[in-house]
Amino acid sequence: MGRVRQGKVREGGPGSKLETVKKKGKKGKEKRKEKKEEKKEEKKEEKKEEKKDKEGGRKKNKEEKGK
């Protein structure tokens, strides 16, 4: 029997005992990507709201001038 190197077992490389353990959490790159997407969606919603406000304001002004 060969010597058991504990360092190799704990590393989690291919063929180690830890290979099947689930990864916890997300990596930084994935987190940043998700945050970026959320910000984009928020900006789109804000723009839509602003556009609605502007359109409503213009209509009101036209109605007032017409009177």
Domain membership of residue 41 as a residue range: 25-67
| 27-67 pLDDT per residue, tens | 788 889 999 999 999 999 988 888 877 766 666 666 666 55
pLDDT of res. 40: 94
CA dihedral (16, 17, 23, 24) positive or negative: negative
Q: Are the C-beta atoms of 34 and 42 separated by less than 8 Å?
A: no
- 16, part of any domain: no
- 19, part of any domain: no
- 4, part of any domain: no
- 31, part of any domain: yes
Report residue 60 as tokens.
Answer: 């009101």
Number of separate domains in the chain:
1
- 59, part of any domain: yes
- 2, part of any domain: no
pLDDT of res. 30: 86
- 42, part of any domain: yes
pTM above 0.85, yes or no: no
pLDDT of res. 41: 94
